[in-house]
Amino acid sequence: MCFIFFLLLIPTLSFGDEQESLQEKANAAKEKLEREGTWLLEPHATLTLLEENRVLDNKAIKALTQRNHQQRGFLAYLDKKKQAYTISAQSITGKRYLTHVYLEGYAPFKTKNPLIPLYMISSRKTYQKDRKQYFGRNDVWQSSRQAYLNPTGDCEDHAVLLADWLIEMKYDARVVIGDVRGNGHAWVIWLHKGKTYLLEATKKFKKSAPKRYPLASLLPGYHPQYMFNRSDFWTNTGSKFTANYTSQRWVKKSRYKKKW
């Protein structure tokens, strides 16, 4: 996964929260995680393959993810059409989970402004490639809590934290896996009031928060392959050069449901 340049900004949103107050809230959230810990808990869950009307129970999910648990990088699992119905990735501990698991349902603190999550991640988290941080391991995923507490992370760690925070704010946000300039990358898509915005989670704002988010339709350099949120997984069955994240070429392949 790679660091990516920032791009053109489009529609309007305001930034009204005081930055000092934000930092106080951010520090309090970090201190709370330091006290509580950030161990990733795998929930009891089911995975429904929507086109095949087949349900994998918790035992089957574990068997699926542990089959190649030592293989590095994320893994795609294919259905009868040879299309991915879900993907998994290795955690910090080396255990493999479906990528839904990394979206824990976490927001460091409450805010009504959808610009705040990206700004706070930008100001508090530094981009660092996995192989440098994890002694040669590639594509090691942090959960949303881990990503907030850990000061460094790769693109998927930034994207997981950003998407989970926005979802907790009741927005339709999704992590997208694909490539930019031929390099693997992860970013966030935000669907809001009939428009689709592309959020580059690794963008760093040095002095001030963003004033608007860019429209995905104007950023064709991002080539999406898979897309997921806490429950649903989509596969791009069309061209990877699409900038349309709501077309019929995006097929919802499975639904993940926590049972606890």
CA nearest neighbour of 237 among 228, 225, 245 = 225
Residue 74's pLDDT is 86
Residue 9's pLDDT is 44
Q: Is the pLDDT of residue 42 over 80?
A: yes
Q: Is the pLDDT of residue 2 over 60?
A: no
Residue 208's pLDDT is 65
Residue 5's pLDDT is 39
Residue 247's pLDDT is 96
Mean pLDDT, to the nearest integer, of 65-72? 78
> Directed axis angle between helix 19-36 and helix 116-124, to 10°?
70
pLDDT tens string 134-189? 877 888 999 999 999 999 999 999 999 999 999 999 999 999 999 999 999 999 99
pLDDT tens string 116-137? 999 999 989 999 988 788 877 8
In this structure, what token pair is assigned to residue 243? 């900038």
Mean pLDDT, to the nearest integer, of 36-47? 93
Residue 260's pLDDT is 72
Mean pLDDT, to the nearest integer, of 192-220? 87
Residue 10's pLDDT is 40
In this structure, what token pair is assigned to residue 219? 């950023």
Residue 19's pLDDT is 67
pTM for this model (two decimals):
0.91
Residue 95 binned pLDDT confidence (cut-offs 50, 70, 90): very high
> Directed axis angle between helix 155-168 and helix 116-124, to 10°?
150
Residue type, 9: L
Kindly report the average pLDDT of the chain as a whole number. Answer: 90
Residue 139's pLDDT is 86
Residue 203's pLDDT is 86
Residue 206's pLDDT is 63
Residue 160's pLDDT is 98
Residue 31's pLDDT is 97
Residue 209's pLDDT is 66
For residue 171, the SS3 value is coil
How distant, in Å, are the alpha carbons of 57, 138, 167, 204 from that of 123? 40, 24, 20, 7
Residue 133's pLDDT is 83
For residue 14, the SS3 value is coil
Residue 3 binned pLDDT confidence (cut-offs 50, 70, 90): very low
Residue 18's pLDDT is 60
Q: Residues for the chain: how many in total?
A: 260
